[in-house]
């Protein structure tokens, strides 16, 4: 993908010195603070541990970002209503969080960067505090029993554009436009959440904006109400999603709603884009449904009820796979970028990572689908691409020193995670054969969809489908810090 997104194009280029993207710069700041948190946060259980056996409220258990997310409960639904004053960049919100306790809770945490004003649990006022900049601690009047369904309502507000975390300011906004998009975190800047991909929930989003502006979010528009000085927009996503995949965009947009390729499609481009750029963006975004149908033919049924995309005029420096409706910065929206972000609807959104160390399962698979698109639309084959990608990179390059299955928190968006992840998949395709490879991808999406998965889950399914031991193959591609040798074992020799 071009620098507009989070990684280089899947087709190899000769090494060159390039300016770091804004997204990578802000991510570096987030990762720096995470390392600080690692030094002060107690050790946590591995992902998948029974939270009743080792509850750590306020600590989600991620190996890279232990401060993201929380244990002890499972969110089922968020109902968020925000009033965003674009010119002042001020946000006021009320969020109802419906969850089920996985253990007895005398207190629990939510991720929230803004200032809490009041909290109720099951309709009764609860004590609350902010033990850190991104944590909201809630103490209900009576303990919540294991298995009990409970409802938390938080009123909050502030200026998200002013709020940083370890030097990062992820809020994307001008005085005329704003878009809530970010990874690995953004939810805490606009609603209280259990902010880890493992805890998916349904989203009901109401955004109140100044009259004359639009608000676009995930799923389907279920209603608008115009008042004297403001307009209320309500969006609802039927399928659960990870909190970081929820988004909203506010501003003045050209919006096109259609039934395209049998899918409900909403596309929008900021009116602050130059006229020609806006027209090109709308034309490209309008291809989303057709590309989604092509992806469906490759990896199985599309898991969501809507599609589309939003092009902002903000200089975000990246695109993001927000569920049902990816968001794009003001740069050119290429076909490969569309394919990548829409492929994430299966790989990253439908099947989420169990831990951020598993990020290659998102980025490698989405990058591979760019290669597949090129192969099926008159370009070089995947086998040719892999051979060229391997040959054009000298064995002593830093590209080969990253362990793809465990890149470390500072390198989760390293180009190797994307491109070597895709190379791993094409090499696996060479190794196990065409039929087995495509069965693997379809089964991965179908069987793991709606939940979280790890690298170990993927490699186990690959061995099951192929009917052979693939330990040496995956060691060479995912766990090694050297260039895989050319051999039949590594899939580099036919």
Q: What is the pLDDT of residues 349-367, one digit of tens each?
A: 999 999 999 999 999 999 9
Return the CATH number at 128.
Answer: 2.60.40.1730
Q: What is the structure's pLDDT at 13?
A: 32
Beta-strand relationship, 73-85 and 135-139:
unpaired
* Predicted local distance difference test score (pLDDT) of residue 188: 96
- Res 175: pLDDT: 96
Averaged pLDDT of the chain = 89
Task: For 268-322, write each residue's pLDDT tens digit.
Answer: 999 999 999 999 999 999 999 999 999 999 999 999 999 999 999 999 999 999 9
The number of folded domains in the chain is: 2
Is residue 219 over pLDDT 90?
yes
The encoded tokens of residue 383 equal 């086998």
pLDDT of residue 39: 34
295 plus 415 within the same structural domain: no
| 45 is a domain residue | no
Answer with the residue of higher pLDDT: 355 or 31: 355
Q: Do residues 136 and 112 make contact, with C-beta atoms less than 8 angstroms apart?
A: yes
pTM here is: 0.89
Question: Which range, of 55-69, 80-94, 104-118, 234-248, averages the lowest pLDDT?
Answer: 55-69
pLDDT for 193 equals 98
pLDDT above 70 covers a percentage of the chain that reads 88
Residue 398, C-beta contacts closer than 8 angstroms, at least 6 positions apart: none
158-199 pLDDT, tens digit each:
999 999 886 678 899 999 999 999 999 999 999 999 999 999
Residues 362 and 322 both lie in one domain: no
Classify residue 195 by its DSSP letter. -
Same-domain status, 271 and 410: no
Q: In this model, does residue 79 exceed pLDDT 90?
A: yes
Among 191, 218, 223, residue whose Cα is nearest residue 81: 191
pLDDT tens, 119-157?
999 999 999 999 989 999 999 999 999 999 999 999 999
CA 333 to chain centre: 19
pLDDT per position as a tens digit, 405-455: 999 998 999 999 999 999 999 999 999 999 999 999 999 999 999 999 999
Edge to edge, what strands does the sheet with 220-226 contain? 124-125, 115-121, 149-158, 90-101, 73-85, 201-210, 230-241, 220-226
How many CB atoms are located within 10 Å of the residue 137 CB? Answer: 18
Q: Could you list the residue range(s) of the whole structural domain that residue 470 is in?
A: 356-479
Both 362 and 323 in one domain: the answer is no
pLDDT given for residue 47 in this prediction: 37
pLDDT the model gives residue 166: 60
Range with the poorest average pLDDT among 24-33, 342-351, 410-419: 24-33
Examine the fold and report which residue of 298, 320, 345 is the final residue of a domain before the chain moves on.
345
pLDDT digits (tens, 9 = 90+) for 364-404: 999 999 999 999 999 999 999 999 999 999 999 999 999 99
Check residue 131 and give its pLDDT: 92
Same domain, 256 and 230: yes
Model pLDDT for residues 234-255, shown as the tens digit of each residue: 999 999 999 999 999 999 999 9
pLDDT at res. 114: 98
Task: Give the residues across from 136 on adjacent strands.
Answer: 110
In this prediction, residue 31 carries a pLDDT of 41
Does residue 350 lie in a domain region?
no
Q: Which bin fits 469, alpha (ψ -120 to 50), beta or left (φ > 0)?
A: beta
Same domain, yes or no, for 442 and 300?
A: no
Cα separation, 160 vs 91, whole angstroms: 7
Over residues 450-470, the pLDDT tens digits come to 999 999 999 999 999 999 999
- 191 shares its domain with 247: yes
In this structure, the answer to whether residues 268 and 404 fall within a common structural domain is no
> Looking at residue 101, what is its pLDDT?
98
């Amino acid at each position: 993908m071009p620098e507009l997104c989070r990684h280089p194009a899947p087709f190899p280029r000769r090494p060159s010195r390039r300016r770091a993207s804004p997204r990578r710069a802000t991510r570096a700041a987030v990762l720096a603070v995470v390392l600080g948190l690692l030094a002060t946060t107690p050790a946590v259980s591995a992902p998948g541990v029974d939270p009743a056996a080792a509850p750590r409220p306020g600590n989600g258990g991620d190996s890279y970002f232990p401060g993201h997310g929380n244990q002890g409960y499972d969110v089922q639904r968020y109902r968020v209503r925000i009033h965003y004053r674009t010119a002042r960049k001020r946000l006021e919100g009320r969020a109802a969080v419906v969850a089920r306790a996985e253990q007895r809770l005398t207190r629990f945490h939510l991720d929230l960067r803004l200032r809490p004003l009041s909290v109720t649990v099951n309709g009764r006022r609860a004590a609350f505090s902010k033990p850190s900049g991104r944590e909201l601690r809630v103490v209900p009047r009576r303990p919540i029993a294991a298995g009990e369904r409970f409802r938390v309502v938080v009123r909050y507000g502030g200026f998200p554009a002013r709020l940083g975390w370890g030097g990062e300011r992820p809020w994307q906004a001008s005085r005329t436009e704003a878009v809530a998009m970010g990874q690995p975190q953004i939810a805490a800047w606009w609603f209280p959440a259990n902010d880890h991909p493992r805890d998916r929930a349904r989203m009901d989003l109401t955004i109140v904006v100044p009259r004359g502006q639009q608000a676009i979010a995930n799923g389907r528009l279920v209603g608008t109400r115009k008042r004297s000085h403001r307009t209320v927009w309500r969006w609802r996503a039927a399928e659960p999603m990870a909190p970081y995949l929820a988004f909203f965009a506010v501003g003045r947009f050209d919006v096109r709603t259609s039934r395209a390729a049998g899918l409900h499609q909403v596309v929008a481009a900021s009116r602050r884009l130059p006229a020609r750029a806006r027209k090109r963006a709308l034309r490209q975004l309008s291809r989303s449904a057709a590309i989604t149908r092509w992806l469906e033919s490759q990896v199985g049924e599309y898991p969501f009820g809507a599609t589309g995309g939003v092009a902002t005029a903000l200089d975000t420096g990246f695109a993001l796979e927000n569920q049902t409706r990816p968001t794009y910065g003001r740069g050119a929206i290429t076909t490969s970028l569309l394919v990548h972000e829409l492929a994430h609807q299966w790989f990253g959104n439908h099947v989420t990572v169990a831990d951020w160390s598993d990020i290659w399962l998102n980025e490698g698979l989405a990058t591979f689908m760019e290669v597949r698109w090129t192969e099926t639309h008159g370009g070089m084959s995947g086998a040719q691409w892999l051979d060229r990608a391997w040959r054009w990179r000298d064995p002593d390059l830093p590209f080969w020193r990253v362990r793809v299955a465990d890149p470390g928190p500072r390198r989760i968006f390293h180009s190797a995670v994307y491109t070597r992840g895709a190379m791993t998949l094409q090499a696996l395709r060479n190794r196990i054969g065409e039929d087995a490879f495509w069965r693997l991808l379809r089964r991965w999406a179908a069987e793991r969809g709606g939940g979280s998965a790890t690298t170990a889950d993927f490699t186990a399914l690959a061995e099951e489908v192929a009917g052979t031991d693939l330990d040496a193959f995956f060691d060479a591609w995912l766990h090694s810090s050297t260039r895989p040798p050319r051999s039949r074992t590594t899939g580099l020799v036919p």
